[in-house]
Amino acid sequence: MNSNHDITEMHLDVLREIGNIGAAHAATSLSQLLEHKIDMRVPKVALVTFDEMFELAGGTEKVVAGIFLRIEGDLTGSMFFVLTIESATQFIRKLTGDKEFEFAAVEELGMGVSALQELGNILSGSYLSALSDFTSLKIYPTVPSLSVDMVGAIVSFGLIEVSQYSDEVIVIETEILQEGEQGISSLAGHFFLLPDPLSYRTIFSSLGVL
Amino acid sequence: MHNTQTVIRVGIADMNIANAPQTIRTSGLGSCVGVVLYDSTKKIAGMVHVMLPDSQLGKSKQFNVAKFADTGIHAMLEMLKSQGVRPFSIKAKIAGGAQMFQFGSGDTIRIGPRNVEAVKQELKRYSIQLVAEDTGGSSGRTIEFDPETSILHVRTVNAGTQEL
């Protein structure tokens, strides 16, 4: 299953379920951590071009806070937690107690970086442990790394592995919403799970839909 | 059409050509390298958005030539030649090849510097003069080249726009 041609609608449904279970756990963790209501939309699963992938994350030039990690073990891939600058700022303020925090000087984030990386650690941990329970596969996340920059520059790094095989990528995307004033939800960010092409078969066979 | 000011957009692992007064642009370069090959007399420029250093890394038989430094630069030179550009008049400006994240395993983490090295090696192979570069570091870049002036505009989130 190196080529993407063998992927059927049923396979995509399985991946959507993975996104559902993983992101639901992560959203619960995030909600507890921030003591704030966090919702998620139904995950989208799609085979997209690299340029379409950037559009999903807000457009190539949009400045975001991107937490990236690699997944190792039975299943390999890349994972991103992409936050709008507004949400990342709010989250850091909440986590560090520093009400003045701003992203203006990226070099001097200090505590902010640690807080956001820790957030990435907890969220990816809960996403992936749910995924691991569901599939019975051993999955280990690497230490997350943070970059505040353009979507294209951040997300392309997670496409390097895939790009050796294909010009398209299967993305499992979940939008995370946070409740604002008067109960109006706004987009806080996205989870992106990008399994490496060689892992497609592993996922499907673990769930009996090969 | 001739006098309309248009911006030709180049996606990731993509390439295209612009004739003045058109400009050519690619956005959100991270570890990728934007390679501009231009003829300042004919006021024509080609841009390749290189993602990987070497087509040997490609693991499928059919691949997109613009993705790799070696095949991308070769294909762009052919495109320029087919537009009547003489090889010895072609010069280059490049930008990108950043290291966006500070951890990682093995070869992937250094993909930015490796892309830059590979691009320079290809330019040397075809004896193309590298006139200017803004490479490395840890910032994303958006670049736009103006074939009229041969100026490459490089924008980063923190340092604004500079001219090369």
Across the interface, do B67 and A163 touch by the CB < 8 Å criterion? yes
| Residue A73: closest CA among A205, A208, A207, A202 | A202
Distance from C-alpha of A129 to C-alpha of A33, rounded to nearest angstrom: 17
How many structural domains is chain B composed of?
A: 1
Q: How confident is the model over A198-210, as a mean pLDDT?
A: 83
Across the interface, do A165 and B104 touch by the CB < 8 Å criterion? no
pLDDT in the model for residue B156 = 94
Q: Are B12 and A152 in contact (CB under 8 A)?
A: yes
pTM, full prediction: 0.89
Distance from C-alpha of B138 to C-alpha of B55, rounded to nearest angstrom: 25
Q: Are B152 and B143 in contact (CB under 8 A)?
A: yes
Annotated active-site residue B32? The verdict is yes
Question: Which residue bears the tokens 């993983």?
Answer: A22
Q: Domain range for residue B20?
A: 7-163
Looking at B32, B47, B118, B154, which residue is catalytic?
A: B32
Distance from C-alpha of A62 to C-alpha of B55, rounded to nearest angstrom: 30
Q: How confident is the model over A168-195, as a mean pLDDT?
A: 84
Distance from C-alpha of A179 to C-alpha of A183, rounded to nearest angstrom: 6
Q: How confident is the model over A181-188, as a mean pLDDT?
A: 75
Residues of chain B found within 8 Å of residue A60, distances taken between Cβ atoms: 27-28, 142
Across the interface, do A147 and B111 touch by the CB < 8 Å criterion? no
Backbone angles phi, psi at B68, to 5 degrees: -110, 150
Is B18 contained in some domain? yes
pLDDT tens, position by position, A63-73:
999 999 989 99
Nearest-Cα distance to chain A for B88, in Å, is 32
Q: Averaging pLDDT over each range in A9-13, A27-31, A51-55, which range is the top one?
A: A51-55
For residue B140, the domain's CATH number is 3.30.1330.200
Is B71 contained in some domain? yes
Query: Which of A163, A166, A168, A194 is best to mutate for the B interface (most B CBs within 10 A)?
Result: A163
Q: Domain range for residue A192?
A: 4-206
Is B2 contained in some domain? no
Predicted-complex ipTM score: 0.89
Is B48 contained in some domain? yes
State the count of interchain CB pairs (< 8 A) between A and B.
102
Nearest-Cα distance to chain B for A40, in Å, is 27
Q: How far is CA B130 from the centre of its chain?
A: 12
Q: Are B66 and B34 in contact (CB under 8 A)?
A: no
pLDDT in the model for residue B51 = 96
Query: Which of A61, A63, A150 is best to mutate for the B interface (most B CBs within 10 A)?
Result: A150
The H helix count followed by the E strand count for chain A is 7, 8
Q: How confident is the model over B49-77, as a mean pLDDT?
A: 91
For residue A99, the domain's CATH number is 3.40.1550.10
